[in-house]
Amino acid sequence: ISPNQSKAKNMSIVFASYGFCYALGSLFGGGLSYTTTSFFTPYALPFFCAACISLANLTFVTVYFKETFLLKSTRSFRKPTLALKDVIAQLRQAHNIKLIIVIFLSFFGWNFFMKVMQVFLNDQYNFLAKENAYILAYFGLCTIVTQAFLIPYLSSRFNSSQFIKGSTLTLGLSLIAMPFTFSLPAFYIAFTFAAISYGFILPNVTAVLSNLNSSDAQGKVMGI
């Protein structure tokens, strides 16, 4: 619902909250994984703490959140074919399918990397749970800086398309460079460029996708 020119900046604030949670969650999870009690085996405590946070979140949403969809629909959403038709209709639009492919490949490639990275760090630098937690927290910090400060500051000088093109190139080159780093500082330098680039991509590609679709199609296209 933001104006087109400020949508990327506002999207970046939303995505920055993910980075904030990534940083705190990794630090707490890494620390708790080394905490032993009479009730919990090692590595079990973070699971139960996360479950308690989820329960608190459910309670908060149930008590304080109200329905935001105010338009009355005459269509039934119980038919499974209706949802499928909506998906196909959105994908038939050329600009949507191109941007959705960009979003899919960005998520797929980054998650592919993040899962294998921890095995690489264990093999190359003998990283264990706590050290992996630190680097994940560092990733969260990089995305906070990028999305809460860099994107709002630079959004008046560059448009979303420029952000996406430059960040995608930098991300790819950074990922290629990381396996060839033979010292931890060098790995952190390459990882920093990758994390910042990834932080630039998602808010901007989401803003472009939103701007290209009408107000009544926002929920559909964002869901896809």
HEC profile of 71-108:
CCCCCCCCCHHHHHHHHHHHHCCHHHHHHHHHHHHHHH
pLDDT value of residue 69: 66
Mark the ranges of the chain whose per-residue pLDDT is less than 50: none
CA pair distance 179, 167, nearest whole angstrom: 20
97 in Cβ contact with 209 (< 8 Å): no
Assess contact for 197 and 170: CB atoms under 8 A: yes
Query: Residue 199: which of 138, 115, 132, 156 has the closest Cα?
Result: 138
The predicted model scores a pTM of 0.78
d(CA 180, CA 155): 33
- DSSP letter, residue 215: G
How many whole angstroms separate alpha carbon 55 and alpha carbon 49? 10
Residue 178's pLDDT is 92
- The vertex-203 CA angle with 210 and 104, nearest 5°, equals 80
Closest CA to 139 of 191, 189, 201, 183: 191
Q: What is the pLDDT of residue 64?
A: 93
